[in-house]
Structure 1
């Protein structure tokens, strides 16, 4: 067998090894986040004092975990496909931060004895008007995709693109994703009953607001505009 024959095999082996390493790393981060969530001594974390099934704490934790998982998927795609160092670093930051947060939220849900998703398939019901907020929310109790989330067609298009076209579309989708999740984080930061849930939601809001401004800048530098 010639060196020309072995080169493709070596490249394939390297790619496969990298994929395994990345998968192991992702699982490790997710498990670490879950462990942190379980180990944190939450006020009222005993079964008698756990948040109610219709509480802001459980609803936000369930919905934001689902919302984050799509962001992680898009960030992982960008990290692998982009040739731009700034976008690759942004994607890595988003992926690693949101993986840890998802692990933490799933750990809390397990601690509270709550399912990972709402039992009736609706989202954002916990944002309906309450004694604290009489404005309500037009998105509360909705089914299907939450605000900011990409459709399956949009995700397929993202995977099909390359070069600058890919970079712009990734930034547009991720910016919209951050903006769609912001009202959820804002509501939880104000109305969640468990202090660490309010703190996490507030931290999400601050970090994603900063990332959103940066993405707007990167989009403008490429002569494009955010999605409508």
Structure 2
């Protein structure tokens, strides 16, 4: 056999082996994908932890942005104003991501009938002083753990200077504690990898801000609310 024909035979044989390996690999991937997708749908359902977290944290974040803008206008303290700006900027961006995922999944931004806030978390996610004894009652606007009531937001709007700074830091501390609990819930229960990573990032960032706010309160002769 001529050298050129021998090389051509080897190339054909090699190509056949490569194609066989390619098809085998594709079959393996398809099989693994089928096994991985068997437990659940390709996209989250409206009642899933993924959708519930996206809906509820978007609402939770919106109030943090609102409180940050309020304190910006009632104090001249640069440290508080800088913290408020960072919180507003970060949480507004994260809120956009959460609402964008709901659009991508073609899911409504309101909970399904019969499913209230935090229903995706065991116990409904209600904890802390703002929810104690309030089951079945008007929460005065505090829909989820850590959220400020309408009365508390009015007090923040009316406050000035150091009083406003302390109240903002206390309200935002409660808010972050509720947010951290929600984010941990998603990190444990959500199934979309990108959302789980975002939730874990929220836990770490908000815990860092909790430590900072405790120091800022101490510097003002105050402390987080019990």
**Shorter-normalised TM-score: what interval?**
0.7 to 0.9
Cα RMSD, aligned residues only:
1.9
TM-score by length of 2: 0.73
Give the structure with higher Rg (CA).
2
Identify the residue that residue 33 of structure 1 maps to in structure 2.
none
Identify the residue that residue 194 of structure 1 maps to in structure 2.
192
Match of 1:50 among 43, 64, 70: 43
Identify the residue that residue 139 of structure 1 maps to in structure 2.
126
Q: Deviations over 1:33-88 (max 9, x none)?
A: xxxxxxxxxxx9xxx72101111100000000000000000011112222111110
Q: CA deviation at 1:124?
A: 1.1
Contact 2:53–2:182 (CA<8 Å) still a contact in 1?
Answer: yes
Q: What secondary structure is seen at the aligned counterpart in 1 of 2:51? A: helix
Matches within 5 A, 1:1-228: 49-120=42-113, 122-128=116-122, 139=126, 145-228=143-226
Number of residues of Structure 1 aligned to a counterpart in Structure 2 = 174
Q: What secondary structure is seen at the aligned counterpart in 2 of 1:122? A: coil
Q: Deviations over 1:6-26 (max 9, x none)?
A: xxxxxxxxxxxxxxxxxxxxx
Q: CA deviation at 1:137?
A: 5.5
Give 5+ residue unaligned stretches, structure 2: 1-36, 128-134
TM-score by length of 1: 0.72
Which consecutive aligned stretches of 4+ in structure 1 deviate over 2 angstroms post-superposition? 136-140
Q: CA deviation at 1:153?
A: 0.4
C-alpha separation in 1, matches of 2:72 and 2:188: 33
